[in-house]
Amino acid sequence: MKKSLLLLLLWCNNVFAGPLHFVSINYLIEQEVGRLVLPEIYRQLNVTIVVTPYPGKRAQQLVRSGKRHGEIMRIYSYGDENPHTIRVPTPYYTLETMAFVRSDSHVDIQNEQDLSNYRIAKVRGVKHTNNITKGMSEVEDTDTTIQALNLVSKGLADIALTNRIDGLVMLAKAGIENVVPHQRSFRVLKLYHYIHKDQRHWVKKIDDVLRRMTQSGELTELIKKAENQVISQHCRQSSVATELCRLHLSQEED
């Protein structure tokens, strides 16, 4: 009887103790937004979470090993590739895979297959750009979006692939003026929260919160506030970026 009671107490402690420790991918704008939004979602359950940024592959390894409780934000295919995690069914954000090119280039991209004709730079460990460039030979991984954009700016790559909002803000932050987004994006992907299977008891609870906040409009307002905060922080870091960021924010509000 005492042994059963002890096991029950240990189980309850595991379920309700906090904080939970999640990982994100560093230096990506959408992940910075997620680092603001997800703690507010968990706060609806009176749960505290800690989010620590890592390079994409390192983040994935930490979750796979069980050293972290999950990832804050990944695309749908991440769950298929990582059976040690459980996808919270309701997505809470999106990303738009976009090519950024030099303004004086003659890059002609009509579809995703056309990317194989060019030298591509992307941030390593990011699933949506990994997927779209799979099997392509001239792909260079960088540590940050700014590094990828700089390769294009200097003519060392033809295309930088990243999320639209990430590319626009990083162009402004770095003061890169000769790189622009291509006129069309490739994919708009939903982003999901992933929880390690050992913490599966949180999946339905968080999904219920996300559904409620989506229906009430709270999630939209929370995301808008987080986006503005993240973009403004990057604007303040560079005087060159201030006007470009202001224009971007006004376009988002429209």
* Residue 180 placed within a domain: yes
| pLDDT tens per residue across span 160-218 | 999 999 999 999 889 899 999 998 889 999 999 999 999 999 999 999 999 999 999 99
In a domain, 18, yes or no: yes
Phi and psi torsions of 19, nearest 5°: -80, 165
The pLDDT, as a whole number, for residue 6 is 45
The pLDDT of residue 185 is 85
CB neighbour list of residue 7: distance below 8 Å, 6 or more residues apart: none
CATH of residue 150's domain is 3.40.190.10
Domain end (from 184, 218, 241) = 184
Among residues 30, 43, 39, 36, which one has the least CA distance to residue 73? Answer: 30
In terms of domains, do 88 and 14 share one? yes
Do β-strands 93-102 and 49-54 pair in parallel, antiparallel, or remain unpaired? unpaired
Higher confidence at residue 128 or residue 3? 128
pLDDT tens, residue by residue, 116-149: 999 999 999 999 999 999 999 999 999 999 999 9
Q: How many domains does the chain divide into?
A: 2
The model carries a pTM of: 0.85
Look at 1-5, 90-94, 130-134, 173-177 and tell me which has the smallest mean pLDDT. 1-5
Residues 61 and 129 in one domain: no
Mean pLDDT of the chain: 89
Q: Is pLDDT above 80 for 16? A: no
Q: Range of 111's domain? A: 95-184
Is residue 37 assigned to a domain? Answer: yes
User: Are residues 6 and 70 located together in one domain of the fold?
Assistant: yes
Instruction: Identify whether the C-beta of residue 152 lies closer than 8 Å to the C-beta of residue 98.
Output: no
Indicate if 82 and 132 belong to the same structural domain: no
**At 189, phi and psi to the nearest 5?**
-120, 140
**Does 146 or 240 have the greater pLDDT score?**
146
Structure confidence at residue 245 (pLDDT): 60
Please check whether residues 53 and 28 belong to one and the same domain. yes
Burial group, residue 220, by CB count within 10 angstroms (0-12, 13-18, 19+) = exposed
Residues 180 and 102 grouped into a single domain: yes
Cβ atoms of 69 and 24 within 8 Å: the answer is no
Residue 244 included in any domain: no
Average pLDDT score over residue span 102-114: 94
The predicted model gives 65-86 an average pLDDT of 97
